[in-house]
Amino acid sequence: MQLDLQPYQACNVLIVDDETMSRMLLSSVLAPHFHCETCDSGQAAIDYCQNHSPDIILLDMNMPDIDGLTVCKKLKSQAHSQNIPVIFVTASIDAEIENACWEVGASDYVLKPITASTLVHRVKNHLQITLRTALLERMTFHDQLTGLYNRMYLNQEIPLMIKQVARDGDNIGLIMADIDHFKLYNDHYGHLQGDECLQRVASIIKCHALRPKDAAIRFGGEEFLVILPYTDKEGTEKVAKDLIAAVFAADLPHAKGVEGKVSLSAGFTALPAAEVIDQGMISFIEHADVPLYKAKKLGRNRCEG
Active-site residue list: 222
Angle at 180 between CA 178 and CA 185, to 5 degrees: 120
Contact 166, 274 (CB under 8 A): yes
Angle at 269 between CA 264 and CA 273, to 5 degrees: 135
Helix axes 116-141, 20-30, angle to 10 degrees: 70
Whole-angstrom Cα distance, residue 50 to residue 48? 5
- Does an H or E element contain 161, and which? helix 158-167
Contact 302, 294 (CB under 8 A): no
CA 151 to the chain's CA centroid: 16
CB under 8 Å to 73, separation ≥6 — which residues? 104, 105
Whole-angstrom Cα distance, residue 64 to residue 89? 15
C-alpha pair distances (Å), 245 with each of 18, 192, 255, 264, 296: 51, 25, 19, 9, 15
223: left (phi over 0), alpha (psi -120 to 50) or beta: beta
Residue 11's nearest CA partner among 138, 125, 142, 144 is 125
